[in-house]
Chain A
C-alpha cells in the first residue's frame, strides 16, 4: 500500500517533488512514458477548467435546489469582502463545478463527482493569484492524485463507506498538499497540509437532502476549497500537524467505519430527515 511517508521519503531521496514521484510511479505502473501521463493530466485539467466555466454560466439542477449560486455569488458586490480575491475565486469555482455536476454537466470526479469542485477551485484560484503555468497546475494535480491514491488504498474515497469526510475530506486534503507544493513548500509541508486539512473535516457525514448531490454537497465544495487554503497556509508557515498524515488517514477510515450507515449516503438521518428536507423530498416525489 502506498503511504504519504513513502511519497515524502522518495521525494527527498531523489531531491524532487511529490508530484514527480507520483508521475514516475504511475507511468511505470501503466507502462507509458512520463510525458504521456503529464499530457493526460493536462487534458484532465482542461476538463476541470471547462466545468468551472460552464458552471459559472448557471443552470438548472435535477432537484432545482441549486444551479445559479456561483453565478450570483461571483457578481455580488460583496463577494471576497472577507476572504480576498483567492478566497472569492476558490468559493466561486468550487460552487460552479459542483453545480455543473448537479445540472448533469461534464465534470472530472476528483476523487468523486460530489466533491468535483474542490481541486479545480483551489488550483485555478491559485493560478489567478500567483500566475502559475498550466504545467505547474498539472504538477499540482499529480501531487493531489498521490494523496488521493493513498487515501483510496488505505481508507476509502466513497461517501457510502466513509461519509463526506472520505469525499470532500480527501479532495480538500489533496488540494492543500498540491497548493503547498505549488507555493514552494517541502514534501513534509505537503504532508502536514494534507493532515491538517483532513483533521478539519474528520467526522463529516454524508446526509444529502432527497438523496440529491445538491444540498449540502454544493456549498460543502466551497468550504472544502477554503479549508484547503487554511491548511496550506498553516503548513507553509511551518506549522506542523502533531499527528502524521498517514495516521490521520487511518483515523478517517476508523471514523468512517464507526459512522452509522444512516449517515453514509442513505439519506436516512441528519440533514436529510429535517422537516424542510422531508418537505422537499415529498415535493420532488423522490
Chain B
C-alpha cells in the first residue's frame, strides 16, 4: 500500500509538484552529489522545463535546491536573492530537447575543489531520478537511504563495500553498479532500509580506489517528522 502521506502530501512550495517541488529536490540532490558548498552552477533546462518552467518557478526552485533548501522551504520564492547573499553564481541554458524525460535538467556544480555534472529528471509528484552522473548513465531515485560510492573499476571493490555495510548491521535493500569502460570509473549505489551512520561512511571513504562517498537520507514523512 502506498504511504498516505505521499497522497495527502507532501507539504511543498507551489505551484507544481513536478516543476517546483521536484525541481527543488533535483537541485538539492545535485548539491549532495557535489558533496561540498557549490560556488557556481550551470543549469541546462530541457523540453517542458525549458518551455513552461518559468511560470512554475522551476528556475527559482532549482537554485533553491542547490542552495540546500528543502522543497517546502518558503525561501524558494526568493532563491535568486539568497543565491547572491550566499555567494552562488548561476546561469541557465536552454538545452532544447532530450531523450530521458520531458522534465529534465543538466546541473553542473563547481565547489572549491570538486565538480559534478548530473542529469536529473523530475518524474512526477515531487519524485526525481538521476539519469547521468559525470557522463555515466545511471538510474537512481534516492527514495530509500542511498549511499553512492565513486570508485575505480577494480576487482573486489563491490564485495568490500557490501561487507563494510553488512558488518555494521546495515541491511542492503537494492544494489546497482554502473561502469564506464572509457574512464575506468564505477559508481556503486546501495539503497538501505536503515540510515548509514557517519562512522560507516568514513570507513567506506577510506578504502582504496574510492574517490567520493555521497549519502542521501531517506525522505520518509515519518522520519522527517522526528
Contact B57 A104 (CB under 8 A): yes
Q: Mark B14-27, 1 if CB is under 8 A from A, else 0.
A: 11110011000000
Assess whether A145 is interfacial by the CB under 8 Å rule.
Answer: yes
Assess whether A83 is interfacial by the CB under 8 Å rule.
Answer: no
A26 touches which one: B1, B125, B126, B225 (CB < 8 A)?
B1
Q: A152-B2, A210-B55, A286-B54 are in contact. Are A106 and B17 (CB under 8 A)?
A: no
Interface centre among B5, B13, B14, B17 (most CB of A within 10 A): B14
Q: A44-B5, A149-B7 are in contact. Are A213 and B14 (CB under 8 A)?
A: yes
Contact A104 B2 (CB under 8 A): no
Q: A40-B221, A101-B15, A113-B12 are in contact. Are A146 and B4 (CB under 8 A)?
A: yes
Count the A residues whose beta carbon is within 8 Å of the partner chain — how many? 55
Cβ contacts under 8 Å, A40 to chain B: 5, 221-222, 225
Assess whether A163 is interfacial by the CB under 8 Å rule.
Answer: no
- The CA of A99 and the CA of B51, in the complex, are separated in Å by 22
A218 (CB) vs chain B CBs: closest residue: B15
- Total A-B Cβ pairs within 8 A: 135
Count the B residues whose beta carbon is within 8 Å of the partner chain — how many? 36
Cβ contacts under 8 Å, B72 to chain A: 106
Contact A112 B8 (CB under 8 A): no
Closest chain A CB from B92 CB (angstroms):
15
B15 touches which one: A43, A102, A146 (CB < 8 A)?
A102
A residues with a Cβ closer than 8 A to B are: 2, 22, 25-26, 29-30, 32, 36, 39-41, 43-44, 47, 61-63, 100-114, 116, 119, 141-142, 144-146, 148-149, 152-153, 157-158, 160, 210-214, 267, 284-286
B residues with a Cβ closer than 8 A to A are: 1-5, 7-17, 20-21, 51-52, 54-57, 60, 72, 74, 76-77, 124-126, 220-222, 225
4 A-B pairs besides A148-B8, A152-B7, A211-B52 with CB distance below 8 A are A61-B15, A106-B11, A108-B10, A286-B55
Interface pairs (26), CB distance under 8 Å: A2-B1, A30-B3, A44-B11, A62-B55, A62-B56, A101-B14, A102-B14, A103-B77, A104-B60, A104-B77, A105-B13, A106-B12, A108-B10, A108-B11, A108-B12, A112-B125, A119-B8, A148-B7, A149-B1, A152-B7, A153-B2, A212-B55, A212-B56, A213-B56, A286-B54, A286-B55
